[in-house]
Amino acid sequence: MIAPIGDDSRWTPHSEPKNVEFRLPLVPRLLAVFTVIALAGASLFMIGFAILVLRQWEWRLGPFLALLACFMAALTAYVGKDLRGKWSLRVVLEPDALVLDLPENRSLIHHPPALHARIPFSDIEAIETRQEVYVSQFMGMMQHPYVLHRKNDQLIFLFEDRAIGSQLEVNYFSKLVADIVARAGVPLRDLGMAEGKGGVLGVWGSHEPDWASPAVSKEHERQLMRRVAITGMLPIPLIIFALIVRLIVGG
């Protein structure tokens, strides 16, 4: 029997464990599909319009439209990567093991390989997590990744909650992690805060800090949190507009 995460049959030490399956909710997965289709359509339109303008020898407007079309195409590829990661991610909590079907694109910054494995709970040492802040230009973005630490010291990147502290916050995995920790009887280790490279607008060229890197100082943590808080207060349309403008001006 498979019960969804969050129902009343959640395992407790005084009840018989049942298989519990987790997948991302259908609505955000469908929304990702719609977003990719809309961006792909807009990209094709912009490419065609840019070609038409350039053929009319409009050298002032044409290059701008071509650059915007390239931006839309790159954004489509970026969102498509997120869609592939959302659609096939699957985790099952069995009575004595964790079954992982993790796609390659489950993180937008980390680069973990795809993984399909069944890991006995007795092989798990801990689940580790930390706050990762990526500062790019004027913005600060915070992620919350989770890593499984096996008793043989193998580290497995599981998944991540994104845009913590902003209007775009995605927090799907904290309850799943709590269920894994409870069923496996292992600790959830908080490794503090780490700072990664934000790249261009936090989208292209970002690079995660090494998992073994030490946490930042408390003073630097407060500075990073202020940047994240300021970014989180910005209206979503303003953030999108700033992303486009910043790319166009080549900053």
124, amino acid identity: I
Task: Provide the domain limits for residue 188.
Answer: 2-24+89-248
| Count of structural domains, the chain | 1
* pTM as predicted: 0.76
Note whether residue 30 is domain-resident: no
How far is residue 15's CA from residue 106's CA, in Å, rounded to a whole number?
Answer: 32
Note whether residue 206 is domain-resident: yes
Note whether residue 114 is domain-resident: yes
- Phi-psi label, residue 215: left if phi above 0, alpha if psi -120 to 50, beta otherwise: beta
Report mean pLDDT in 10-residue bins for the chain, 251 residues.
43 61 88 86 85 75 78 81 87 95 89 94 96 78 92 95 77 92 95 82 71 89 82 57 44 36
Note whether residue 54 is domain-resident: no
Note whether residue 65 is domain-resident: no
Residue 245's pLDDT is what?
A: 44
Note whether residue 37 is domain-resident: no
